[in-house]
Amino acid sequence: MILEKVINKIEIQSEYKDFVDRYIDNVLTEFKDKIHSIYMCGSIPKGTATPFKSDADFTIVCVDPKDIDYERLSKIKDRLLEEYPILTKIDTIICSMDDVLSKPNEWGFWVKIICVCVHGQDIGKQVPPITISPEFIVDLNKETKDEVDRIHHSLSNASDPKMKMRYIKGYSKRLIRALYSLVLENTGVWEDDMVKMKNAILDYCEIDPALVDYLYACYLDSNVGLEEFLGRADEVYCYFENTLNAMAASRNSLY
């Protein structure tokens, strides 16, 4: 099965159009000819964002990510968050053109399938069609362990209650996405709706359903005990890692 794009048409709501334009203008002004193209994913380009609850997710593609100074980018983000309080936060991922084209099952997947181009030439169109397979699922999760370790560390060391809740919500979402990637051969599509992800995991994963329901509940309401959450999250990741390793071993045995 070939993966289809999550967002086929940009439908930004009127409340967010000025913000998106301002973000793009600010980034282009700050970094001038360093930018190849800019992308969005999530609820804003889909037209389903909720004021004061939704965040903004951008991806910048450039020749060399070192050309984009994070401190200068952070100042743009902070300024726009003050001007547009309807946003909860602004996240920006930076990758190179080479990342997208040389890693089709990782960065190529992200830009081609998850994101939609809001400025410049869509480099995702140069990525070959992505076929759902064990090889793709393993490649897709190459950086999952590092991401999980980073979030786990940040959460364990967070002292501010609001930051803890944000990390718990983000950690829950990341683990649900990781579990969902394991069932892509069953669903045939990449979902970005958390309820559909959860239900597919319950249908096709041999994981304790209570763990999945707990993760989803924490995603909705992250005001939970830290030690209990980390313990449950570790159980989920252990299942994920074992399943992924078995998938990788099965793939390798074919060569």
pLDDT of amino acid 115: 96
pLDDT of amino acid 97: 97
* Same domain flag for 238 and 159: yes
Query: Per the domain annotation, does 23 fall within a domain?
Result: yes
* Same domain flag for 99 and 44: yes
**In sequence order, what are the residues at sequence separation of 6 or more whose Cβ sits closer than 8 angstroms to the Cβ of residue 120?**
35, 36, 37, 38, 61
Residue 91 has pLDDT above 70, yes or no: yes
Q: Per mean pLDDT, which range of 77-91, 115-129, 237-251 is the poorest?
A: 237-251
In degrees, to the nearest 5, what angle opens at C-alpha 34 toward C-alphas 33 and 39? 105
Residue 253 has pLDDT above 60, yes or no: no
| CATH number of the domain residue 20 falls in | 3.30.460.10
Q: How far apart are CA 238 and CA 210, in angstroms?
A: 15
Query: Per the domain annotation, does 8 fall within a domain?
Result: no
Give the residue from 71, 99, 131 where a domain finishes.
131
Query: Per the domain annotation, does 38 fall within a domain?
Result: yes
pLDDT of amino acid 222: 87
Give the residue from 131, 146, 168 where a domain finishes.
131
Residue 173 Cα to chain centre, angstroms: 9
pLDDT of amino acid 85: 95
pLDDT of amino acid 158: 86
Query: Per the domain annotation, does 5 fall within a domain?
Result: no
**More confidently predicted of 209 and 247:** 209
Overall number of domains in the chain: 2
Query: Per the domain annotation, does 75 fall within a domain?
Result: yes
Under the banding of pLDDT at 50, 70 and 90, the label for residue 82 is very high
pLDDT digits (tens, 9 = 90+) for 191-210: 988 999 999 999 999 999 99
Q: Max Cα separation, the chain?
A: 55
* Same domain flag for 127 and 190: no
pLDDT digits (tens, 9 = 90+) for 5-55: 999 899 999 999 999 999 999 999 999 889 999 999 999 999 999 999 899
Query: Per the domain annotation, does 68 fall within a domain?
Result: yes
**More confidently predicted of 241 and 159:** 241
Query: Per the domain annotation, does 225 fall within a domain?
Result: yes
Question: Is 23:132 a contact under the CB 8 Å cutoff?
Answer: no
Residue 118 has pLDDT above 90, yes or no: yes
* Same domain flag for 98 and 163: no
pLDDT digits (tens, 9 = 90+) for 104-113: 999 999 999 9
Residue 128 has pLDDT above 70, yes or no: yes
- Look over the chain and give the mean of its residue pLDDT values, rounded to a whole number: 93
* Same domain flag for 121 and 150: no
* Same domain flag for 141 and 125: no
* Same domain flag for 37 and 117: yes
* Same domain flag for 178 and 126: no
For residue 21, what are the domain limits?
A: 14-131
pLDDT of amino acid 163: 87
pLDDT of amino acid 251: 64
* Same domain flag for 38 and 109: yes
Give the residue from 131, 165, 195 where a domain finishes.
131
* Same domain flag for 199 and 122: no
Residue 254 has pLDDT above 60, yes or no: no
pLDDT of amino acid 248: 87
**In sequence order, what are the residues at sequence separation of 6 or more whose Cβ sits closer than 8 angstroms to the Cβ of residue 150?**
none
Query: Per the domain annotation, does 48 fall within a domain?
Result: yes
pLDDT digits (tens, 9 = 90+) for 132-148: 999 999 999 999 999 99
Q: How far apart are CA 101 and CA 29, in angstroms?
A: 26
Task: With CA atoms as reference, report the closest residue to 38 among 18, 49, 22, 50.
Answer: 22
Task: Compute, in degrees rounded to 10, the torsion defined by CA atoms 22, 23, 26, 30.
Answer: -170
* Same domain flag for 161 and 234: yes
Supply the pTM of this predicted model.
0.86
Other beta carbons within 10 angstroms of residue 238's beta carbon come to 10
Q: How far is CA 53 from CA 16, 24, 44, 103, in A?
A: 13, 22, 11, 33
